[in-house]
Structure 1
Amino acid sequence: MNTHDIAVIVLAAGKGTRMKSDLPKVLHPMAGMPMLGHVLHAARTLNPSKTVVITGYGAEKVEDYCQKHFPEAEFARQTEQLGTAHAIMQAESVLKDFTGTAVIVYADIMLSTRPDVLPTLMEQHSSNSNGLTLLTANVPNPTGLGRIFLKNNIIVNVEEKDCTPDQRKITTVNPAIHAIPSPLLFKLLKLVKNDNAQKEYYLPDIIALAHQNGAPVITAEVPSDRAELGMNSRAEVAEMETVWQTRKRAEAMAAGVTLVDPKTVYFSADTEIAPDVTIHQNVVFGAGVKIETGATILPFCHIEGAHLQRGANVGPFARIRPTSVVGENAKVGNFVELKNATMGAKASAGHLTYLGDATVGEHTNIGAGTITANYNHKTHAKAKTVIGNNASVGSNSVLVAPVTLGDGAYTGAGTVVRKNVEEGSLVFTTPDLITKTGYSK
């Protein structure tokens, strides 16, 4: 469809009581990103002219997140929690002049984020542009979920408690992801009644109302894992994380990445990994990681907000923190931590080192136990250390920032460097070596 034909409505108003949290449910992370973020990323693939997020509980926090990461989003608030149909009605004012297709998705239902799902819905809807197209999901174990099926050639949605024994055998459910002309949507929503025990207005009621008003109703079916159909508790978030990680690992390996023990590698939603990267056991990626071809990550590493260039070698037991860069064929070894640090091509920090707010030049070696002392506890300011190309920092050196070591500079083992070191110079400290003979007798 053309861009101007689609408006995405995202339901994100619920509190999430079972989360036992002050944080709005839709901001709870899954794979390093709030669940709402996953859904809004999927919405972008439709190139909609409008994206309307329905907010409610914690509206300010939800809207702030969207404004920072999805500035195209517009908002409609549901100030009273009166059901899903009532929530969508709040978008009417935002879409009052919109006559295209409204696509309804939920911020806690990850089914819509799978790459095949929204295209399947929209392809089916292209032959039903004047009616209601329901995405349906075939779930191996639908216990506890309502069923959707044909009855007298009419599509009906029945809650499980109202199903007959034969109907309970049906494995097709309604995840409430719809495509429908916007004018028809709001016409039907105005007809929804709240004659139920909760006195709420429910979106599934528009299925019967569409039939009653002569609007065609069709379905687009996809297979689904149960975890994709809603995250209402921390346990369900964990289940969805497991499903998501399993798929991400398979995608990575299919794209040419070697995972030595796949089930022990954890990705974030935005992890970028090129082919011919090798990742060993127990590696965790935080947000914002990019890894170029030929890089190797050894066991027990945590990497976040970093860029590993071609042929970089990291680990084991390394921590790479945000805004760090490991250059081409550079090495970051065991128990080395980088924070806002750049390692030049073929530079090496092999052991037991902290490099914070630092730049390390090409072909430079950092000895074991080196620390860049970048933080002033009195002023709370941080300062930068610059180490040139082809330099060598001796073991247990402390570089007190701000300080610069020129190209080819050397420091002796155990040196505390407080002043800049000229290119090609050697600096070292020589405390007296005191010998007491016969001390052990």
Structure 2
Amino acid sequence: MHAVILAAGEGTRMRPLSGSLPKPMLPVSDRPLVAHTASAAVEAGADELVFVIGYEADTVREYFGDSYRGVPVEYAVQDEQLGTAHAVEQALEYVEGDFVVLNGDDLYDTAAVGSLFSHTPSLGAYTVSDPRPYGVFSLDGDRVTDVVEKPDDPPSDRVNVGAYHFPAEAAAWFDDVEMSERGEYEITDVVERLVAEREVRAVPVERWLGVGRPWELLEANEWKLGELDGRIEGKVHADAELEGRVVVEEGATVRSGVVIEGPALIREGATVGPNAYVRGATLVDEGAKVGHAVEVKNSVLSPGATIGHLSYVGDSVLGRDVNFGAGTKVANLRHDDDDVKFTVKGERTSTERRKFGVVAGDGVKTGINSSLSPGLRLNAGATTRPGETVDRDR
């Protein structure tokens, strides 16, 4: 069984975090986002993984190499991002027999992926309260009878989440897909043909998250950090207090006076403290530093990120090698208590989160005592002056 994992897209809605890193390779707990999908496929019984890569392709190759968890890996290159059907078509030279296709920037519960592998043909179906923005399945029991894209009057509350088990003959259908009005070759055309010609099972997906925007990366980490079992392999000072599910990897250091309330992951080469407070679902990635008297709450610190002493960072995502100067404070709550908004592709978009702080691209540096407003976007390499209050994207 081959598992085709789509990981070629640029991820423009995830900017500034995806400026030089593919969205599927952004950090979620102890591995990149796409590695959670790959792990689920391996556990489900995949004999080979085929990654469709494009944007910053070498980053994916370097991580997975020629095998992952004992399963061989192949790479298909999508030079132009011309849609999901076009992406799968690039992988078909490596595929024999039935095959599974999964989105590399989505998280699926492992049991659902296993069930998808067990039934041919089948489609992953997730229950949502408002299905109108999605492709929606019409169902007869657990059989899919139709797929309707973004309907005003949805036929059910079960939606398409980009998880497909195709029979072998479907491989030939991808060549027949015509370009859509959006200028893409879309996998939904193949799905519609599959539903029309075969008896297709809807596989229940109990938990799913499409990770397309920065605050969804926070949600992804909240999910996966919550699944960790606590363990201490690095250096933890006797005066430090670790509560709940906390992982301190080998090579990490937790200094005196530190309090960590899990779920939290302190990765290899990272340092915390002294006298720091880490709480909520927080990832302190490889080589990241949390300084003296710093509080970090429900945040992601990418590799090499540093938060200088006497700072507060809440509900935020910091890219690689970010350096927050001493006394930098992040505000994560609006005075009117409304949901925080964030700029996505030039438009202010509700995060649907009451608390959301800052998204800082790679290499951002703040001057000492900088104050950063909720929902602030700092593009890669941006800087602030000492004592500056920043309330507009930079």
Range into which the TM-score falls when normalised by the shorter chain:
0.5 to 0.7
Within a 5 Å distance, the mapping from 1:17-416 to structure 2 comes to 17-20=12-15, 21-67=19-65, 70=68, 72-95=72-95, 98-99=96-97, 101-111=98-108, 114-123=109-118, 125=119, 129=120, 132-142=121-131, 144-150=133-139, 155-160=145-150, 163-165=151-153, 167=155, 170-181=156-167, 183-194=168-179, 196-212=180-196, 214-224=197-207, 228-246=208-226, 248=227, 252=229, 280-281=242-243, 285=247, 299-300=259-260, 303-305=266-268
From the superposition, tell whether residues 164 and 303 of structure 1 become closer, same or farther in structure 2 (CA, over 3 Å).
closer
Which range moves more in the overlay, 134-143 or 281-290?
281-290
CA distance in structure 2 between the partners assigned to 1:172 and 1:178 by the alignment: 15
Matched residues in 1 for 2:137 and 2:160: separation? 6
SS in 2 for 1:54: strand
Amino acid across the alignment from 2:148: V
Distance in 2, Cα, partners of 1:284 & 1:154: 42
How far apart are residue 51 of structure 1 and its match? 1.1
- Per-residue Cα deviation, 1:329-385 (whole angstroms, up to 9, x for no partner): xxxxx99xxxxxxxxxxxxxxxxxxxxxxxxxxxxxxxxxxxxxxxxxxxxxxxxxx
Measured at CA, do residues 205 and 89 of structure 1 come closer, stay the same or move farther in structure 2, by a change above 3 Å?
same
Residue ranges of structure 2 left out of the alignment (5+ in a row)? 235-239, 279-283, 287-291, 294-394
Question: Do the aligned residues in 2 keep the contact of 1:139 with 1:223 (CA within 8 Å)?
Answer: no
By relative contact order (CA 8 Å, sep 6+), the higher-ranking structure is 2
CA pair 241-81 structure 1, distance change in 2 beyond 3 A: same
Gap change, CA 1:87 and 1:166, over 3 Å in 2 = closer
Residue 68 of structure 1: CA displacement? 7.5
- Find the residue that maps to 1:40 and give its secondary structure: helix
Q: Percent identity?
A: 23
CA RMSD in angstroms, aligned pairs only: 3.9
User: How many angstroms apart in 2 are the aligned matches of 1:321 and 1:133?
Assistant: 37
Measure how far apart 1:89 and its partner are: 0.4
The alpha-carbon distance between structure 1 residues 271 and 51, as it changes in their structure 2 partners (threshold 3 A), is farther
Distance in 2 of aligned mates of 1:304 and 1:106 = 26
CA offsets 1:177-211 (integer angstroms, 9 cap, x no match)? 11122x322122122221x2212111121122124
Deviations 1:209-245 (A, max 9, x none): 1244x33222112323xxx331112111112222333
> Taking structure 1 as reference, are residues 49 and 244 closer, same or farther at Cα in structure 2, changes over 3 Å only?
closer
Match of 1:9 in 2: 4
Q: Structure 1, residues 152-198: CA drift from partner, whole Å, max 9, x if none?
A: x86222222xx13354xx321011211122x322122122221x221
TM-score, normalised via structure 1 length:
0.52
Residue 119 of structure 1 deviates from its aligned partner by: 1.8
Which residue identity lines up with residue 165 of structure 1 in the other structure? D
- Seen in structure 2, the aligned counterparts of structure 1 residues 304 and 102 have a Cα distance that, compared at 3 Å, is same
Name the amino acid aligned to 1:88: V
